[in-house]
Chain A
Amino acid sequence: MLNAVFSLIARDLRLGMRRQADIASVLFFFIIVVSLFPLGIGPEPDQLRRLAPGILWVAALLATMLSLPRLFADDHRDGTLEQLALSPQPLGLIVLGKVAAHWLVSGLPLTLLAPVLGLQFDLSSEALQALTLSLLIGTPALSGIGAIGAALTLGVRGGGVLLSLLILPLYIPVLIFGAGAVEATVTGVGAQAHLSLLGALTLAGVFFAPWPTAAALRIALE
């Protein structure tokens, strides 16, 4: 049963590698949005340090949003989604595979880029560590929760905007604890509590989101 899911992840990763423009556009969006802030706010290290966690996290949320509409849309268009729904695996498990593949091509690269971008904000090495760790723990939740929105807006005209309206409010807790973890490290409180809560959100997001997503996909296929 898991073999089929792993092969789905492998297929999606291979597709990702052959459509590098998709991945690159998300990463460049992230880089550009984050880099605009120091230019707009001005070169005051104190102010930049204070704003950095929020800016990096919000930019990561928006970059993830950008990649979500394609999560199921391509499979829907070429009929693969029907085959996924008809495979002898539970659809929830297949969605979990899609979410994992999505994270590997969007959340993970964002996480790896973040410390480099954090340097623009004069973050200390502890803060950079906390930032990377919080993104590593938090971004799977973004992919998981986002899958619900992607499935609900599948085949809807102007679905991208609707998707943001549906999903961004659900991202608020992840944003608060993610940015909070970096904030707490900067102020010396320690990020432990924030990271634990973020981990709980991710576990809940990744393990509960596939089922409503699967239900939404079945409705989209009717």
Chain B
Amino acid sequence: MLVASHLECVRGERSLFRNLAFRLDEGELLYLQGRNGSGKTSLLRMLCGLLPPAAGEIRWKGETIGRLGEDYRRELCFLGHLNAIKEELTPLENLRASAKLADTPLDEDLALEALETLGLAGRADLACRYLSQGQKRRVALARLVHERKSLWLLDEPFVALDTAAVELVAGLIGAHLQRGGLAVLTTHQPVNIPAGTVRQLVLGSC
């Protein structure tokens, strides 16, 4: 359960939002919306603990995330708008390295299967710099196939993806919610995610 209360975000001199509050339970999806510059990415970075809020607090299962530290990060999967993949490494190496770092090692078969799911079957051993923008995004998203962390924070996951891949990723998010996971998502694309409860939060209106 993720609860945010009285959150305020200040970037530079400007206050992007203040007094923001929401609550997210197991199996629920929070859909962040708002125009460019309304603070969606800042809110996501606050939720994962990279950006300390100017005011307010974020609680995970009743405890502030600052106090939980590593225990919180162990349950967290963050996908920023940067792909965090290395151009010199192959998709397989990238996927396995990021899985190990997150303390959820993947053996080669599972990793290959994840890449195959995202349509990168023939590309597993090709250095990522030869891949297109959309394919690189797919490599980053391949993490989600076997990801079993309870909170997913996804910043514009559908950027550069084709319609088939968008549907696939929406399905992955849906399956995650079905397992009782939580997800926070920003996107500008109208995407139909098969989720039970979808909460909407529109930034920039307060």
Contacts and interface: CB of A to CB of B under 8 A. Distances in A.
Q: Do the two shown chains form a genuine complex with each other?
A: yes
B156 to A, nearest CB: 12
Interface string A1-28: 1011001100100110011000000000
A78 B88 contact: no
B73 A7 contact: no
Given A3-B100, A4-B101, A19-B88, A79 B70 contact: no
Interface stretch (A58-66, A86-94, A197-205): A86-94
Contact of A84 (B82, B88, B101, B127): B101
B82 A79 contact: yes
B138 to A, nearest CB: 15
Contacts of A89: 70, 101, 103
B78 A83 contact: yes
A222 B89 contact: no
Given A7-B97, A88-B103, A15 B86 contact: yes
B84 A83 contact: yes
Contacts of A215: none
Can you list the 7 inter-chain pairs with the closest CB atoms, starting with the nearest? A79-B82, A79-B84, A88-B74, A7-B100, A18-B88, A11-B97, A83-B84
A212 B12 CA distance: 24
Q: Tell me the dominant secondary structure on chain B's binding face.
A: loop
Contact of A11 (B76, B89, B103): B89
A18 B76 CA distance: 31
Contacts of A88: 70-71, 73-74, 102-103
B50 A85 contact: yes
Could you tell me the dominant secondary structure of chain A's interface residues? helix
Interface in A92-138: none
B98 interface: yes
Contacts of B50: 82, 85-86, 218, 221-222
Contacts of B98: 83
Contacts of B86: 11, 15, 78, 80
Interface of A: 1, 3-4, 7-8, 11, 14-15, 18-19, 77-80, 82-90, 218, 221-222
9 contacts: A8-B101, A11-B89, A18-B89, A82-B78, A87-B73, A87-B102, A87-B103, A88-B70, A221-B51
Given A3-B105, A79-B82, A86 B76 contact: yes
A91 to B, nearest CB: 10
Contacts of B101: 4, 7-8, 83-84, 87, 89
Contact of B52 (A1, A19, A222): A222
B159 to A, nearest CB: 13
Contacts of A14: 89, 93
B34 interface: no
Given A8-B101, A222-B50, A15 B84 contact: no
A86 B78 contact: yes
Given A15-B89, A88-B73, A222-B52, A79 B102 contact: no
B118 interface: no
Residue of B51, B89, B101 ringed by the most chain A CB atoms within 10 A:
B101
Interface string B161-186: 00000000000000000000000000
Contacts of B83: 78-79
A4 B74 contact: no
Nearest to B50: A221
Interface in B39-61: 48-52
A4 B105 CA distance: 9
A78 B84 contact: yes
